[in-house]
Amino acid sequence: MNETSEQIVLVTGASKGIGKAIAVELGHKGRFVHVNYNSDEKGAKETCEQIKKNGGKAKLTRFNVKDAAECEIAVKEILKANDKIDILVNNAGIKNDKLLAFMQESDWKDVLDTNLASFFNVTKLIVKTMITKRFGRIINITSTAGQVGNAGQVNYSASKAGIIGATKALAKEVAKRNITVNAVSPGFIETGMLDGMPIDEIKKMIPCQRLGKVEEVSALVGFLCSKEASYISGQVIGVNGGVT
């Protein structure tokens, strides 16, 4: 794979937060970034504008990661236009926190479908062409909650733990084809996902005594997509200030 040739990137859930920062980071060095979103078109447009402002290329790509049919249509359109997708970042995710005793089936299913089933919906379609092209970088955004669990987040923790298992298994399936698969595991990062949470109390739990920044997560993703990281696969790398 020529590192200087234009790489095609898809980042799911790229309209805000960590996903936006990752899309902007990967927009460097001439990459073409497909900015996925479902409902936040304004945010997705801002992501595209920032990528272009930094000298990159970007395009809005709307589809619901929970909907397998929508995923298939969108991925086929990207492949029809570019004949490849070099880098996939499975970032889309939601939370719906409550104790398991009070959790409805819909609370469980919605989080698992968005955070975990989406990995299957999107990655299955893209990994086939990566295998054919004998190159690929797949980065799955998990969470510290998926490693240690959080009270009130049984659904979220389960979905993120599932991503870790899927990462390790897929990495073994595709390694011979020059495809790496890794998981990045953020801890408490300054995003809307922390809205309503006791930030001062959270900081006391973090050895670094502060929240993380989205740029600290996106920088790691950028490295894992680089030539220098070609021998790193099947790993779960935390960005959590020392929590785990």
32, 63, 135, 156: the catalytic one is 156
Q: Report strand pairing: 57-62 vs 32-37.
A: parallel
Specify whether 156 is catalytic.
Answer: yes
Catalytic residues: 156
